[in-house]
Structure 1
Amino acid sequence: MAIAVGFTTKPEGQAALSTAVSEARLRNLSIVAVVPEDADLEAARTQLAESGVPHEVRPCQDLQPLADALLELAETSTVEFIVIGLRRRTPVGKLLLGSNAQRILLDAPCPVVAVKARTDG
Structure 2
Amino acid sequence: MTVLTAVANAAEAAAVLPAAAAEAARRNSDLHVLDLTSGRDTQALAAALEAARAELGPDGRAVVVTEPSIPDHATAALVAADETSADVLVIGVRRRSPVGKLVMGSVAQSILLDADCPVLAVRV
Q: CA deviation at 1:31?
A: 1.0
**Given the superposition, is the C-alpha separation of residues 98 and 4 from structure 1 closer, same or farther in structure 2, using an over 3 Å criterion?**
farther
CA deviations 1:83-112 (Å, max 9, x no partner) are 11011234x459769521111001111000
Letter in 1 for 2:64: E
Kindly report the root-mean-square deviation, in angstroms, between the aligned alpha carbons of the 2 structures.
2.4
Q: CA deviation at 1:57?
A: 0.7
Q: Give TM-score, length-normalised by structure 2.
A: 0.76
Q: CA deviation at 1:60?
A: 2.1
Letter in 2 for 1:109: D
Provide the C-alpha distance between the structure 1 equivalents of 2:122 and 2:52, rounded to a whole number of angstroms: 19
Unaligned runs of 5+ in 2: 57-61
1:1-121 equivalences under 5 Å are: 1-36=1-36, 37-41=38-42, 43-52=44-53, 53=56, 54-61=62-69, 64-90=71-97, 92=98, 98-117=105-124
Task: Report if the CA contact (8 A) 2:13-2:48 is conserved.
Answer: no
Higher mean displacement: 104-113 or 49-58? 49-58
Provide the C-alpha distance between the structure 2 equivalents of 1:70 and 1:108, rounded to a whole number of angstroms: 9
Task: Report if the CA contact (8 A) 1:38-1:59 is conserved.
Answer: no
Identity among equivalent positions (%) equals: 33
Unaligned runs of 5+ in 1: none
Provide the C-alpha distance between the structure 2 equivalents of 1:38 and 1:60, rounded to a whole number of angstroms: 12
CA deviations 1:50-75 (Å, max 9, x no partner) are 4323211111226x122111100112
Higher mean displacement: 107-116 or 7-16? 7-16
SS at match of 1:24: helix
Higher mean displacement: 67-76 or 44-53? 44-53
Tell me the matched-pair count. 115
Q: CA deviation at 1:39?
A: 1.9
